[in-house]
Amino acid sequence: MRKRTGISNLYLLFITVMMYLPIVIVMIYSLNESRISSVWSGTSLRWYEALMRDRTVGTAIINSLVLGVLSSLAAAVIGTLGAIGTVRSRFRGRGIMAYLATLPMMTPEIILGMLFLAFFSLLGLPFGMTTLVISHTAFCIPYVFMQVRARLAGMDHSFEEAARDLGAGRARVFFDITLSLIFPAILSGMLLSFAMSFDDVIISVLVTGVNVNTLPILIYTRLKTGITPEINALCTLMFLATLALFLLSHLAGRLADRRQHGKPHPAPAAGGPANV
């Protein structure tokens, strides 16, 4: 028995190391002085300096942040209301709605990109931030929707009933009880949406305008046309930012959970995917 846990632990360790290997390599090479990445000519921060001077990178970062925030907020509102609607109402089409809401997850991104590109040009929408926000919102809704739905399904209704018995109105019950109970799910769906939006290449490449670059689009074009060491530095900074955001959301989720259940949750509460 003991030997077997040894082997399984070794396996977990090996795969985990392999998952981090490319990330760590990029981080190490971002400190390489040389322009050619196969030559190591000493440590330096010159690529970080070059990055700071690069205007296009700054604009791309801002675009990505704006896009991520707008689309995850929109997805949070639409997805949450949709989840409450499909779980609570006896509306006829709710089964179909629930299926359609998850459709973007079941569709390869390249097809979603194609759909949006063709449809937006049919509508004559100007390609750029508007089209990016609409398409990102569309593929982010399922993440919020499914998290909130799962939370609602496992929720204890006695709080809401108690509040109603004590004379609280529908709106009051919704804002004071329901919303605060599903809030961790909304938050975790939003964070997942933000991460998905911030990382998206395929759809963004297709629906963006000529002059609007997001960070992934910029990195993708640069990786295709010839690698500059700046990319190493940029990726490293992005990774550190993601890591910070992730740990922060994890802490926030734990605090929220502790407040609700009086004890910490074993899984990372704001961690998203595996959490439900």
- Residues 49-68 touching other proteins, rule: CB under 8 A, are none
173 interacts with other proteins by CB under 8 A: no
Binding to other proteins by residue 122, rule CB under 8 A?
A: yes
Residues 6-45 that bind other proteins (CB under 8 A): 8-9, 11-12, 15-16, 19-26, 29, 37-38
Q: How far apart are CB 184 and other proteins at their closest, in Å?
A: 14
The length of the chain in residues reads: 276
Q: Binder to other proteins among 51, 76, 219, 256 (CB under 8 A)? A: 219
- Sign of dihedral through CA atoms 141, 144, 150, 155? negative
- Which CB atom, from 46 or from 94, has the smaller least distance to other proteins? 94
Q: Identify residues 80-109 at the interface with other proteins (CB under 8 A).
A: 81-82, 84-86, 88-91, 94, 97, 100-109
Q: Shortest gap between Cβ of 156 and other proteins (angstroms)? A: 19
Minimum separation from the CB atom of position 10 to other proteins (A): 10
**CB of 26 or CB of 187, closer to other proteins:** 26
Smallest gap from residue 31 Cβ to other proteins (A): 13
In angstroms, what is the minimal distance from the CB of 35 to other proteins? 14
Residues 231-250 that bind other proteins (CB under 8 A): 231-232, 235, 238-239, 242-243, 245-246, 250
DSSP assignment of the chain = -HHHHHHHHHHHHHHHHHHHHHHHHHHHHTTB-SSSTTS---B--HHHHHHHH-HHHHHHHHHHHHHHHHHHHHHHHHHHHHHHHHHH---TTHHHHHHHHHHHHHS-HHHHHHHHHHHHHHHTPPTTHHHHHHHHHHHHHHHHHHHHHHHHHT--THHHHHHHHTT--HHHHIIIIIHHHHHHHHHHHHHHHHHHHHH--HHHHHH--SS---HHHHHHHHHHH---THHHHHHHHHHHHHHHHHHHHHHHHHHHHHHHHSS--SS-GGG-GGG-
Q: Which of 62, 179, 227, 248 binds other proteins (CB under 8 A)?
A: 227
Residues 142-171 binding other proteins (CB under 8 A) are: 142-143, 145-147, 150, 170
Give the binding-site size for other proteins (rule: CB under 8 A): 96
Instruction: Give least dist CB 195 to other proteins, A.
Output: 5
